[in-house]
């Protein structure tokens, strides 16, 4: 008994001093079971009788269960954070001014001027178009630039890896090939693509007269391009829209936007008379710069959305 | 009054950068023309900003002016606003951006293939345009739009260097940054619902009314918290800063310099604008956001340095040091006085000049040591690339706050401004601790670089000669450093005037 206590004390002492287990200090107690498979005394830490230290045990445990525990903790924390944020936001939303009430803070002189004088001041029948492309055209310029930035970044990141793939494994490998004999898809596409294109152009060009405009019309145009690519293969679209034309058309559209709106901003801020006519409300040629700006935005949106689709599915435009 | 030319500069500088970004993808790729073109554009904007600063500081009483973007006055149309602070910041941003690009002109060519370099220039231009717009904007929604451009372009210039590590870092950065954008967006929506305005001074008026009548205080607090956290994530305040070391440490040198020196600062400046121009200092104090910012700033100052001490990779060490320096800026903002915010703005400027220099120097040293970034592998590199070595030593002294170096000026003004605050003890303790901690990791790096290593020195002595552009950029960086360290008082006075009219 005394011997065992001594051994335990020595172990504790070694552990405190950081010496690690020293088996030579540990006399095997006489009560040790005689049916040990090997009588060899433990010599080093790799021997099978080596008793792992607390730190080693912790490390082993971590190696075995760490990822699992981390996953549990991670999901628990995410759920907790989500619940807290969601409840906080719900409480906040409940406290907000009621939706659509006439005495809301948002019903102020800003909105009144947009609604009452919007048509007269911008020349656009669609007040929203007048708002985003004339009153707050700088924000819309920023939004178009966001699309341009995103398209250019994706083009850079994905097209370079494509060139690497080409070097390593056979030129122009497609990630998935299209069956070119899908008659139903082709026939339906040949019927619907012109209609979709017409609809897109109408939405873009009538942006200042009716609901719609560059962003929605551009999305419809890109749908037609994506359908075309799926029905006839990407090579078909390449014949009129490749990487060069993609960059060229987005840059040109954004450049026209920047130049025309820059002129408008300059004349507005310096109170110089602008030469841009407003036209009569309701005519197709009215609304000052809104019509050309809608066309530019539509072009950028169509190019960007189709570009995303092509880059992510094909790795190239 | 200022003249018409200076009046148009805020608008012109944003549009010059935008048009340069739009033109760059259709320029010829030969002879690194896109990069030179971007450098010229940024240089032009720097000269314009300097002129704006000159005419604003000579304009007498009316120190700031508004620029209506279009034919409609402010609450209906967009508006830009320029004062001395905005002019100084845009000048510093342009100069730091230009020097980060020219200083790393060679290492950019080594890290990025030609076809990507052109788009890298587009992104740098867009980043510069968004920084200028963030600096000048007077409209919260415009700020959000340009925050978006900034986010995408910043993530893309991390990912531009093709390696698994940068891809991982860029993805992480993108996710964190988008969380930040989302929070900012929600907050702007809430604020619009509460005030009915997006223009900063009109929002300010409406918020003052709400606070005095004690209406909608909970949504107001939540929106303030959301916008603060959102912008804090983007500007890497400590508990939200774990994306930063990977993103800044693994990208190419010019990206690291731009991200650390400028991108963080754009978001901090927007936060200062939100505090000053949208909410007002008394409302911030009432909603206790200044205390939160102060505590987070102090924790960033200490923890950023603690993490930096553990690093062996020199770029990651400098990146963690950025976290600590962002903590200094937030400490100044959290003091919630004019002097504190002025000191924070001074630190923004000084850090924007010093951190790109450190990254450029680290890049120069590691390219001498065969593109190894471990601290022990840089032994004796000072004797091979002396310009980079000088840059590292000066930057380190500046970050530690040795007198006559730039960092000393901002630390001194932070200390002085903390005397009039109720957090005086904690601010002084944090400044002292953080300075010692800074020394604990910058001094070993300097010693390693200065230790004479016969093997390295004899093998490549005389073979390596930094390019003229590198020497020139480093020279300008050093001059700026000493200038800011020795003659910062006029600059601080200008900033204080700018903060007063903010």
User: A54: buried, middle or exposed (CB in 10 Å: 19+, 13-18, 0-12)?
Assistant: exposed
C-beta atoms of B26 and A251 within 8 A? yes
Q: Is A82 within the bounds of a domain?
A: no
> Is residue B381 domain-resident?
yes
| Inside any domain, residue A264 | yes
What is the number of structural domains in chain A? 2
A272 assigned to some structural domain = yes
> Which burial class, exposed, middle or buried, applies to A178 when counting CB atoms under 10 A from its CB (0-12, 13-18, 19+)?
middle
Same domain, A8 and A156: no
User: Residue B412 and residue B424: Cα distance in Å, rounded?
Assistant: 14
C-alpha separations of A210 from A114, A293, B409 in Å: 16, 15, 59
Q: B121: part of which helix (H) or strand (E)?
A: helix B114-136
Do residue A201 and residue A285 come from a single domain? yes
Does A143 lie at the interface with B, CB-CB under 8 angstroms?
Answer: yes
- DSSP for residue B63: -
Whether B144 is in a domain gets the answer: no
Per-residue pLDDT of chain B (502 residues; tens, 9 = 90+): 678 888 889 999 999 999 999 999 888 888 788 889 999 999 999 999 999 998 888 876 667 888 888 888 878 888 999 988 999 999 999 999 999 999 988 888 888 888 888 889 999 999 999 999 999 999 999 999 999 999 999 999 999 888 888 989 999 999 999 999 999 999 999 999 899 889 998 999 999 999 999 888 899 999 999 999 999 999 999 888 899 998 988 899 999 999 998 999 999 999 999 998 899 888 998 888 999 999 999 999 999 999 998 888 899 999 999 999 999 999 999 998 899 999 999 999 999 999 999 999 999 888 888 778 888 888 888 888 888 999 999 999 999 988 889 989 999 999 999 998 888 899 999 999 999 999 999 998 899 888 887 666 556 555 677 888 899 999 999 999 999 988 888 899 889 888 888 7
Note whether residue A110 is domain-resident: no
- State whether B15 and A146 contact (CB < 8 Å): no
Rounded distance, CA B154 to CA A28, Å?
66
> Residue B1 has what pLDDT?
64
Domain assignment present for residue B153? The answer is no
Q: In this structure, is residue A63 part of a structural domain?
A: no
CA distance A248 to chain B (A): 7
Tens digit of pLDDT for each residue in A99-143? 888 888 888 888 888 888 888 888 888 888 888 888 888 999 999
Count of A-B CB contacts under 8 Å: 163
Residue B231 lies in a domain: no
CA proximity to B269, closest of B423, B74, B130, B477: B130
Query: How confident is the prediction along chain A (317 residues), in pLDDT tens digits per residue?
Result: 677 788 888 877 776 666 666 666 655 555 555 555 555 555 555 555 667 788 888 888 888 888 889 999 999 999 999 999 999 999 998 888 888 888 888 888 888 888 888 888 888 888 888 888 888 889 999 999 999 999 999 988 887 555 555 544 444 445 455 555 678 888 999 999 999 999 999 999 998 888 888 899 999 999 999 999 888 888 888 888 888 888 899 999 999 999 999 998 888 888 888 888 877 777 778 878 888 899 999 999 999 999 999 888 877 77
Residue of A nearest to B209 (CA): A105
Is B348 domain-assigned? yes
Kindly state whether residue B353 falls inside one of the protein's structural domains: yes
Taking alpha carbons only, the member of B327, B261, B260 closest to residue B293 is B327
Residue B341 structural domain:
288-502
Decide if B37 touches A, using CB distance below 8 A: no
- Say which DSSP state B238 is in: G
Residue B81 belongs to some domain of the structure? no
Asked if the C-beta of A89 comes within 8 angstroms of chain B's C-beta atoms, the answer is yes
Chain A residues near residue B68 by CB distance under 8 angstroms: 268-269
- Residue B305 in any domain: the answer is yes
- What total of structural domains would you count in chain B? 1
Q: Write down the pLDDT at residue A141.
A: 92
Which residues in chain B have Cβ-Cβ distances shorter than 8 Å to A160?
A: 113, 115-116, 162
- B96: tokens are 């730091």
A150 and A19 both lie in a single domain: no
Do residue A6 and residue A153 come from a single domain? no
Tell me whether residue A95 is in a domain.
no
Residues A133 and A26 in one domain: no
Interface ipTM above 0.95: no
Do residues A283 and A200 share a domain? yes
Q: Which residues of B touch A247 (CB under 8 A)?
A: 25-26
CA-to-CA distance for A60 and A68, rounded, in angstroms?
A: 14
Question: Contact B194/A104, CB-based, under 8 Å?
Answer: no
**Closest B-chain CA to A145:** B149
B-chain residue closest to A142, CA distance: B145
| Partner-chain contact B71 A274, CB within 8 Å | yes
Q: What are phi and psi of B73, to 5 degrees?
A: -70, 180
Domain that holds residue A17: 2-31+39-49
| Residue A204 in domain | yes
Any domain includes A266: yes
Question: Please, what sign has the CA dihedral across residues B487, B492, B497, B498?
Answer: positive
State the pLDDT at residue A44: 56
């Amino acid at each position: 008994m005394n011997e065992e206590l001594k051994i335990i004390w020595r172990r504790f002492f070694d552990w405190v001093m950081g010496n690690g287990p020293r088996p030579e200090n540990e006399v095997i107690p006489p009560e040790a079971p005689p049916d040990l498979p090997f009588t060899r005394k433990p010599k080093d830490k790799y021997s099978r009788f080596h008793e792992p230290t607390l730190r080693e045990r912790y490390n082993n445990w971590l190696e075995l269960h760490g990822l699992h525990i981390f996953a549990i903790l991670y999901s628990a924390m995410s759920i907790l954070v989500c619940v807290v944020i969601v409840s906080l936001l719900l409480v906040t939303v409940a406290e907000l001014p009621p939706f659509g009430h006439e005495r809301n803070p948002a019903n102020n002189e800003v909105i009144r001027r947009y609604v009452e004088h919007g048509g007269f001041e911008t020349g656009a029948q669609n007040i929203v178009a007048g708002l985003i492309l004339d009153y707050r055209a700088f924000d819309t310029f920023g939004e178009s630039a966001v699309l341009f930035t995103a398209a250019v970044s994706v083009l850079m990141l994905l097209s370079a890896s494509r060139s690497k793939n080409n070097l390593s494994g056979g030129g122009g490998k497609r990630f998935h090939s299209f069956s070119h004999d899908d008659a139903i898809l082709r026939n339906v596409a040949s019927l619907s693509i012109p209609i979709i294109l017409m609809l897109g152009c109408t939405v873009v060009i009538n942006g200042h007269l009716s609901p719609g405009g560059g962003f929605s019309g551009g999305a419809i145009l890109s749908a037609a391009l994506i359908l075309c690519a799926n029905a006839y293969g990407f090579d078909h679209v390449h014949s009129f829209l490749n990487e060069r034309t993609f960059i060229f058309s987005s840059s040109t559209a954004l450049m026209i936007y920047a130049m025309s709106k820059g002129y408008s901003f300059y004349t507005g801020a310096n109170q110089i008379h602008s030469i841009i006519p407003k036209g009569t409300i309701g005519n197709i040629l009215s609304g000052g710069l809104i019509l050309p700006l809608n066309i530019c935005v539509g072009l950028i949106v169509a190019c960007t959305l189709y570009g995303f689709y092509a880059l992510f599915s094909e790795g190239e435009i | 009054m200022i003249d018409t030319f200076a009046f148009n500069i805020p608008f012109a500088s944003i549009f010059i950068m935008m048009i340069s970004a739009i033109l760059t993808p259709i320029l010829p790729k030969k002879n690194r023309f896109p990069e030179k073109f971007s450098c010229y554009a940024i240089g032009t904007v720097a000269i314009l900003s300097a002129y704006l600063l000159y005419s604003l500081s000579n304009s007498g009483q009316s120190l700031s002016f508004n620029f209506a973007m279009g034919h409609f006055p402010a609450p209906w149309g967009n508006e830009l606003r320029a004062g001395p602070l905005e002019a100084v910041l845009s000048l510093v941003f342009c100069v730091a951006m230009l020097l980060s690009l020219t200083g790393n002109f060679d290492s950019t060519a080594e890290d990025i293939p030609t076809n990507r370099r052109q788009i890298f220039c587009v992104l740098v231009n867009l980043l510069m345009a968004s920084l200028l717009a963030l600096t000048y904007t007077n409209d919260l929604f415009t700020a959000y739009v340009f925050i978006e451009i900034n986010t995408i372009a910043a993530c893309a210039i991390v990912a531009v260097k093709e390696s698994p590590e940068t891809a991982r870092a860029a993805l992480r950065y993108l996710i964190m940054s988008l969380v930040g954008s989302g929070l900012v967006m929600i907050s702007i929506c809430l604020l619009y619902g509460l005030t009915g305005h997006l223009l900063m001074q009109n929002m300010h008026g409406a918020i003052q009314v709400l606070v005095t009548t004690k209406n909608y205080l909970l949504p107001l607090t939540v929106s303030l918290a959301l916008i603060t956290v959102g912008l804090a994530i983007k500007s890497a305040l400590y508990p939200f800063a774990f994306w930063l070391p990977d993103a800044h440490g693994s990208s190419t040198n010019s990206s690291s310099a731009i991200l650390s020196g400028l991108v963080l600062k754009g978001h901090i400046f927007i936060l200062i604008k939100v505090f000053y121009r949208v909410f007002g200092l008394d409302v911030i104090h009432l909603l206790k956001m200044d205390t939160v910012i102060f505590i987070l700033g102090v924790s960033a100052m200490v923890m950023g340095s603690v993490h930096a001490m553990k690093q062996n990779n020199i770029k990651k060490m400098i990146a963690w040091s950025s976290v600590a320096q962002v903590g200094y800026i937030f400490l100044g903002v959290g003091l919630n006085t004019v002097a504190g915010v002025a000191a924070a703005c001074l630190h923004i400027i000084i850090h924007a000049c010093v951190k790109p220099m450190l990254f450029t120097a680290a890049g120069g040293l590691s390219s001498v040591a065969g593109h190894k970034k471990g601290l022990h592998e840089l032994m004796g590199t000072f004797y091979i690339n002396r310009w980079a070595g000088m840059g590292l030593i000066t930057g380190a002294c500046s970050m530690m706050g040795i007198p006559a170096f730039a960092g000393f000026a901002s630390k001194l003004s932070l200390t002085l401004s903390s005397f009039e605050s109720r957090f005086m003890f904690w601010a002084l303790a944090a400044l002292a601790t953080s300075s010692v901690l800074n020394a604990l990791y910058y001094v070993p790096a300097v010693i390693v670089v200065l230790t004479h290593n016969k093997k390295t020195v004899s093998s490549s002595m005389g073979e390596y000669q930094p390019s003229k552009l590198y020497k020139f950029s480093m020279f300008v960086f050093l001059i700026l450093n000493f200038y800011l360290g020795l003659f910062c008082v006029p600059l601080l006075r200008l900033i204080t005037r700018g903060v007063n009219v903010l």
